[in-house]
Amino acid sequence: MLDDSRPGAPPDRVLWEGDHDQVGWFILNYKSAWLPASLLMPGEQERLTNALFEATRHWTVGLHFNKGIAGAPPEEVAAVRDTATHPQVTQSFALAIIAMGGPPAYTGMPAKPVDEARAGRFADNVDKSMAELLKVAPGAGAYVSESDYFQADWQTAFWGANYGRLAAVKRKYDPQGLFFVHHGVGSEAWSADGFTRV
């Protein structure tokens, strides 16, 4: 953990050291996919390693083993099944994250302007890298907290079979759909700009 180094900062202001570079990060592309434990079986390992190798020809791939729970004790798997998290997490050995960002780019702050052409090339590389992994994990869900802002199939990708139940709860407790976020449960009832019910 890193302490907030600003003078007079309260002692509870801390940050994970590994997340330090993400402060103010201007995200160019960010994708994730649950990788099924079936890819670790003897007949599938070569396909997995080839896909990982091909993915890294385009961009860096991070495998977050702390997020998949395949092989966990049955009571832990049952507890996760009782959450909103995509059910694929229970059969996944890791969450693959492929992302690229740049330095902060706040409106009105002095900074080097974003090179949009270069940013587009980086974003394309992230897309190509994830496409290689999805060849061996087709239909893989994504982790809602670490995913593509533009995820096309977000209801299925973020929540899978849980989406219908979550949508019913949303309608029960927020029938007017007042509370919503981009690609959150029930947000499909609002226009893209968030100002009009559709």
Taking only the tens place, the pLDDT of each residue in 6-49 is 899 998 988 888 887 777 888 999 999 999 999 999 999 999 99
Q: Are residues 131 and 33 in the same domain?
A: yes
The total number of structural domains that make up the chain: 2
Please calculate the CA angle 46-47-49 and round it to the nearest 5 degrees: 65
- Find the domain containing 181 and state its range: 163-198
DSSP for residue 146: B
In this structure, are 133 and 53 located in the same domain?
yes
Question: Does residue 56 sit in the same domain as residue 118?
Answer: yes
Specify the pTM: 0.88
> Is there a domain that residue 43 lies in?
yes
Same domain, 177 and 146: no
The pLDDT score that the predictor gives to residue 148 is 95
Longest dimension (CA), the chain: 58
pLDDT tens digits for range 141-159: 999 999 999 998 999 999 9
CB atoms within 10 A of CB 67: 20
The answer as to whether 113 is a domain residue is: yes
- The reply to whether 11 falls in a domain is no
Share of the chain above pLDDT 90, in %: 73
Place 131 in a pLDDT band, splitting at 50, 70 and 90: very high
Beta-carbon count within 10 A of 141 CB: 23
Instruction: Round to whole Å and give the CA distance between 96 and 63.
Output: 5
In this structure, what token pair is assigned to residue 90? 């229970």
At residue 107, does pLDDT exceed 90? no
Report the percent of the chain where pLDDT is more than 70. Answer: 100
Q: Is 27 exposed, middle or buried (0-12, 13-18, 19+ CB in 10 A)?
A: middle
Do 89 and 173 belong together in one domain?
no
| Structure tokens, 172 | 């029960």
The listed range with the strongest mean pLDDT (3-7, 13-17, 138-142, 175-179) is 138-142
Residues 105, 42 share a domain: yes
Q: Are residues 197 and 109 in the same domain?
A: no
Give the sign of the dihedral formed by CA 78, CA 84, CA 90, CA 94.
negative
Within a domain: 18: no
The whole-angstrom separation of Cα 196 and Cα 79 is 37
Q: What's the confidence (pLDDT) of residue 158?
A: 97
Q: Are residues 70 and 121 in the same domain?
A: yes
- If asked whether residues 171 and 197 sit together in one domain, one would say yes
- Do 125 and 177 sit in the same domain of this protein? no
Task: Mark whether 167 and 147 lie in a shared domain.
Answer: no
Phi, psi of 24 (to 5 degrees): 75, 5
Q: Is residue 6 part of a domain?
A: no
User: Does 174 map to a domain?
Assistant: yes
